[in-house]
Structure 1
Amino acid sequence: MKAKYFIAYLMFPVLLFWSSILFANDVKVTASVSKTEVAVGEAFEITFTVNGNAERFDPPSFAGFQVISGPNQSSSMTSINGNTTVSMSLSYDLVGTQEGEYTIGAGSIVVNGKVYKSNALKIKVVKGNPAQSSSQSRAAARGRTQTNVQTVTGNAADVAKNLFIKASVNKTNPYQGEQLTVSYKLYTNVNLVDNSLDKLPDFNGFWSQEIKNTNPNVEWAIEKIKGVSYHVATLKQIILFPERSGNLVLDPLAMTFLVRQAAPSMDIFDQFFGGSYKDTKYKISSAPVNIHVRPLPENGKPAGFQGAVGQFSVQASLDKTQLKANEALNYSLKISGTGNLKLLNAPTVNFPADVEKYDPKVEDQISESLTGVSGSRAYKYLLIPRHEGSYTIEPFQFSYFNPVSGKYVSLPSRAFQIKVSKGDPGANVTAYSGNQQDIKMLNKDIMYIKTTDLALSENGKNFYGSLGYVLSMLLGPALFGLAWWSKKRYEEKNKDLVQVKWRKANKIAARHLAFAAKQLAAGDQKAFYEAIYKGLYGYLSDKLNISAAELNIEHIRTSLRAININEELIGRLGNTLELCEMARYAPVPGSTEQEVFDQSKSIINDIETHA
Structure 2
Amino acid sequence: MSYESVNFALNITMKKENRYILFLIFFWTISIAQSQVAENPFEIEFSGTKINVQEPFTISVKVTGLEQVPLISFPDNIKNFQKRESSRSSLTNQVGGKTIVTYTISQNYYPVKTGTFTIGSLEILVNKQILRSEGTTVTVESATEEETEEISQESAEISAELEKEASQGVFLAVSVDKKRVYVQQGFNLRLSLLVSENNAAEMDFYEVEKQLEKVLKLLKPANCWEENFGIQEIPDIPITINGKRFTEYRIYQASFFPLNNQSIRLPSVGWMMKMITKSEEGKDVVALKTYASKPLTIEIMSLPPHPLGNQVIVGNFRLEERINSSQLKTGNSYRYNFSIVGEGNIQSIREPTFTNMALFDVYPPDIENNIVRQKNRISGAKTFQYQVIPKQSGNFSLNNLVFWVYFNPQKQRYDTLRSTLNLAIVGENVQNTQLLTSDAESVYNGIEQWDSMKPVVDYQTIIRNIANILIVIMLIVMIFMFRK
Larger RCO (CA within 8 A; separation ≥ 6): 2
Q: TM-score range by the shorter chain?
A: 0.3 to 0.5
- Give the TM-score normalised by structure 1: 0.38
Q: Which has the higher strand share?
A: 2
Q: Which has the higher helix share?
A: 1
